[in-house]
């Protein structure tokens, strides 16, 4: 007869469970040590017993160095993942057409599922996406307002220049009309009353 396959489920008997734990734990540590030696890999193993006791194994100089290396690697992966997510969110934002309501945006990001049924991870991801969309919306709004103000200032400058040119043209026409009016008026002659001329002859 072949070896009977063990059904993987929790061992109910406490003593049998403890014996199995000790055997499997020692076998797992032995396999980890063999893998580290044969394949020249850095390996760390942490085991907490049902009572909370810690068992550990590391192939390198210390377990801490391996864990520090893992944290650095995990941080780099998280940074790359965040960059990809930010790019994806930005691309999705650019695809959103004008007039889309907040409810439609929420439905798009929840893929039609009821928000009440989302777990904590999904809610946090959705919150991050909506915060990113809101931030980009505000930036775009600020840019549009600045462009509008710049256009209005340019239009005001053009109107001022146009008014200045009109004022100069009006002043030039008025000067021309005044000159023509002076040229058209007759020259007045000097009039001396007769009595005044007679008096002058007496003297």
Give me the tens of pLDDT residue by residue for the chain, a chain 203 residues long: 556 676 788 888 999 999 999 999 999 999 999 999 999 888 999 999 888 899 998 887 778 888 888 888 887 777 776 666 656 655 555 554 444 555 555 555 555 456 676 677 777 777 787 788 788 888 888 888 888 888 888 888 899 898 888 988 888 888 887 777 777 665 544 555 555 545 445 44
44 in any annotated domain:
yes
* pLDDT at site 22: 92
| Dist. CA 134–CA 139, nearest whole Å | 9
* pLDDT at site 98: 45
Q: Looking at residue 42, which CATH number applies to its domain?
A: 3.40.1810.10
Q: At what angle do helices 102-110 and 120-184 cross, to 10 degrees?
A: 150
Beta strand residue intervals within 65-128, DSSP E = none
Tokens standing for 93? 């934002």
22 in any annotated domain:
yes
**Cβ-count burial of 129 within 10 angstroms (0-12 exposed, 13-18 middle, 19+ buried)?**
buried
| Dist. CA 188–CA 200, nearest whole Å | 23
pTM, 2 dp: 0.37
194 in any annotated domain:
no
37 in any annotated domain:
yes
73 in any annotated domain:
no
Instruction: Name 47's Cβ contacts closer than 8 Å, sequence gap at least 6.
Output: 25, 28, 54, 55, 56
| Degrees, nearest 5: CA angle 170-172-173 | 65
Task: Give φ, ψ of 10 to 5 degrees.
Answer: -65, 130
79 in any annotated domain:
no
| Dist. CA 90–CA 84, nearest whole Å | 10
Domain range for residue 48? 13-60
Instruction: Name 109's Cβ contacts closer than 8 Å, sequence gap at least 6.
Output: 126, 129, 130
How many structural domains compose the chain? 1
36 in any annotated domain:
yes
**Cβ-count burial of 33 within 10 angstroms (0-12 exposed, 13-18 middle, 19+ buried)?**
middle
User: Which residue is it, tokens 């695809």?
Assistant: 95
41 in any annotated domain:
yes
């Amino acid at each position: 007869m072949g070896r009977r396959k063990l059904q993987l489920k929790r061992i109910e008997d406490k003593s049998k469970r403890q014996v199995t734990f000790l055997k499997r734990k020692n076998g797992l540590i032995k396999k980890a040590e063999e893998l580290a030696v044969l394949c020249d890999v850095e390996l760390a193993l942490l085991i907490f017993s049902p009572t909370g006791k810690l068992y550990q194994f590391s192939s390198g100089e210390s377990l801490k160095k391996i864990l520090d290396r893992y944290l650095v690697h995990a941080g780099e992966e998280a940074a790359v993942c965040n960059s990809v997510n930010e790019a994806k969110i930005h691309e999705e934002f650019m695809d959103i057409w004008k007039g889309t309501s907040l409810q439609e945006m929420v439905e798009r990001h929840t893929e039609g599922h009821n928000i009440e049924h989302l777990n904590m991870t999904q809610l946090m991801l959705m919150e991050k996406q909506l915060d990113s969309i809101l931030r980009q919306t505000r930036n775009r709004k600020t840019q549009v307002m600045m462009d509008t103000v710049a256009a209005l200032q340019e239009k005001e400058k053009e109107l001022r220049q146009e008014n200045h040119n009109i004022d100069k043209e009006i002043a030039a026409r008025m000067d021309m009309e005044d000159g023509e009016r002076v040229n058209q008026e007759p020259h007045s002659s000097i009039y001396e009353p007769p009595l005044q001329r007679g008096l002058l002859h007496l003297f």
